[in-house]
Amino acid sequence: MKSFLIDRYVKGGSLRFTESLEPELRENDVMVAIHAASVNVLDTKIRDGEFKLILPYRLPLILGNDVAGVVVRVGAKVRRFKPGDNVYARPTQDRIGTFAEYIAMDEADVAMKPKNMTMEEAASIPLVALTAWQVLVERANLQKGQKVLIHAGSGGVGTIAIQLAKHLGAHVATTTSTVNIDLVKSLGADVVIDYKKDNFEEILRDYDVVLNSLGTDTLKKSVGVLKPGGKLISISGPPDPDFAKENGFGWPLRLVMRLLSLGIRRKSKRQGISYSFHFMTANGAQLGQITSLIEAGIIRPVVDRIFPFGKTNEALEYVETGRAKGKVVVAVK
């Protein structure tokens, strides 16, 4: 099968287009012919080697963390899917590889594709929607009437998180650039901070939750907008000791993560709030719940551009510019 892979970690490097063996089909797996895959910032970070400590991949590695396609074969113990089913998924982190013609995934990570979406639209959803769900629903337990600040509202996670937070009944503030104000308002944002003109930390107060996907400076400033008991949740780091413990990392790595997050944890504690790092996990059951919201018209995709499969490297380069509204997708078939 044709695929795009990395042979070694190189910051800003290009993926190699090549022929690869089809993946092994295990007894709990579905084999999916990939119709579309979306590009995430995570793909660039893996390529650059930024996650090699916590995601120790064996190279060469086919990149890609989102998929929509058609089931072509199933393992002996698969009961939920059959050949011909239209599905989508975020494969578990140790079995990524959606920049290819086929992928094998555990059926527990897979859900039926929303009926009201194209393959390209569906491929834009899993990683960012699962991230938003796991942060806002599971970790933050966001309730009706609470106030949430979602940074980078026009990005992949932000566009979905705004819609999900509004569905949960929250009051939503977001940060974005001038050109994207109308977009985030159309998604349901109640308060929009144009970061090119205003400082969010000088305007917002007494928030219950902050979802951070930006850098350290933004993370530190976010502490001040939360009320006592508030929750600061970051998907861009730094990892904290709880994350290290949950993932069973050894003591050297636990120590590294304790030191990396020491500053923000201390700052948060002084303000009476909690800090946590979240790295999303594959979950077909949660994706099924998200499917229901999509089919009900509560969540809609935001797709900026669709690239042909042969231009996967160009798609990665476009994502790295930081100018994409929502998601960037690669059409494999």
Q: What pLDDT is recorded for position 56?
A: 86
Q: What is the mean pLDDT of each run of 10 residues along the chain (333 residues)?
A: 97 96 97 98 95 89 98 98 98 97 98 98 98 98 98 98 98 97 98 96 98 96 98 95 90 92 96 96 98 98 98 97 95 95
Eight-state DSSP code of residue 100: B
Instruction: Provide the β-strand partners of residue 2.
Output: 19
Instruction: Name which of 75, 76, 67, 127 is nearest 101 in CA terms.
Output: 67
Backbone torsions φ then ψ of 260, nearest 5 degrees: -60, -35
Tokens describing residue 144: 């009706």
Q: Is 239 helix (H, G, I), strand (E, B) or coil?
A: coil
The residue assigned the tokens 């140790």 is: 94
Residues 6+ apart with CB under 8 A from 3: 17, 18, 19, 20, 62, 97, 99, 100, 101
Q: Which residues of 37-47 are buried (b: 16+ CB within 10 A; e: fewer)?
A: bbbbbbbbebb
Instruction: Provide the β-strand partners of residue 39.
Output: 328
Q: What pLDDT is recorded for position 237?
A: 87
- Can you list the domains of the chain with their CATH numbers? 2-125+301-331 (3.90.180.10), 127-277 (3.40.50.720)
Q: What pLDDT is recorded for position 265?
A: 96
Tokens describing residue 244: 């290290």
Strands 67-74 and 86-89, by their bridges, are antiparallel
Instruction: Name which of 225, 224, 264, 258 is nearest 243 in CA terms.
Output: 258
pLDDT single digits (tens) 246-263? 888 888 899 999 999 999
Q: How far is CA 172 from CA 60, 163, 185, 196, 278, in A?
A: 42, 9, 10, 19, 20
Give the neighbor-by-neighbor strand order of the sheet with 191-194. Answer: 191-194, 171-176, 147-150, 207-212, 226-234, 274-277
Q: What pLDDT is recorded for position 55?
A: 87
Q: What pLDDT is recorded for position 54?
A: 84
